[in-house]
Amino acid sequence: MKPVLHFYVTYFLCLTLGVLCVVFVLYWNTTWRGGFAWDGSAHQFNWHPVMMVTGLVVLYGNAAVLYRIPSTWAKKKQPWKLLHAGLLFLALLLSVLGLCAAFDFHNANHIPNLYSLHSWVGISTTAFFTFQWVLGLTAFLLPCSPITFRKLVKPVHVWMGSIIFVMSVASCLTGINEKLIFISQGKTNATQRYPALPPEYVFANILGVLILAFGLVVLKILLNQRWQRPEEGHNENTRLLAVEHS
């Protein structure tokens, strides 16, 4: 398979898995969890997994691989920087709204906050994400940012970006498992409990597998050094050579 074709096949798989993750989490919470509201009920909590999967995983993952698309290499980087920052801001906004949905639901129903491993990982992920976004905005989008500061921040920015994405996937997987356990505890019919794997539990487990698969594909793109965007200053021939030998 040609190198460029290899990338685009992988990228298409990334996009497809991302769409499936969003569709599955919406279908789960619409079909089995009763839909959505913002009234302190369980229907409000349903926004939490939808916003977290869509924001912290799918939008974040697509923003992370944006610079790897070879067709963007010959174009000016600034518009792609703005798109990258915009997608991340939308992901951050959705994650904050998702946290609000969960905290409001807990407070309205007198449920403790931040007591589980899922909640600890999730709140840490959002906190790191917020810091990362502000750091990236300061270093790479402000015209007054010194070049030396950008060079210093870049490897930290790249490293933190991958770590936050891994934490996001971990948060969603533990959250799905925790939600299914809670649902199972409220069931009176033994055939509807988690070990019996009724349809909802099978569907939610498939959602978890899709999220994991999406995460692995994104990491494959990010960790492939040959798919990195050439540094600024390379001429068109250098860019094309980089693609052909990727």
Query: Would the pTM count as exceeding 0.75?
Result: yes
pLDDT for 74 equals 82
pLDDT tens string 212-235:
999 999 999 999 988 988 876 554
Q: How far apart are CA 220 and CA 136, in angstroms?
A: 23
> Quick one: tokens of 203?
């569907």
Provide the CATH topology of domain 3-244.
Four Helix Bundle (Hemerythrin (Met), subunit A) (1.20.120)
pLDDT tens string 144-157:
889 999 999 999 99
pLDDT tens string 71-87:
888 888 889 999 999 99
Distance of CA 64 to the CA centre of its chain: 9
Calculate the average pLDDT of the chain. Answer: 91
Domain ranges of the chain: 3-244
Band (113; pLDDT cuts 50, 70, 90): very high
pLDDT for 1 equals 59
Q: Which long-range contacts (CB under 8 A, 24 or more apart) does 150-158 make?
A: 157/132
pLDDT for 245 equals 44
Q: What is the CA radius of gyration of the chain?
A: 20
Residues in the chain: 246
**Do the beta carbons of residue 141 and residue 85 sit within 8 Å?**
yes
pLDDT tens string 147-188:
999 999 999 999 999 999 999 999 999 999 999 999 998 887
Does residue 244 carry a pLDDT above 80? no
- Calculated CA dihedral for residues 24, 87, 161, 169, nearest 10 degrees: -10
Mean pLDDT of 4-9: 92
Burial 62-98 (b: 16+ CB within 10 A, else e): bbbbbbbebeebeeeeeebeeebbebbeebbebbebb
- Which amino acid is present at 77? K
**Do the beta carbons of residue 67 and residue 229 sit within 8 Å?**
yes
pLDDT for 231 equals 74
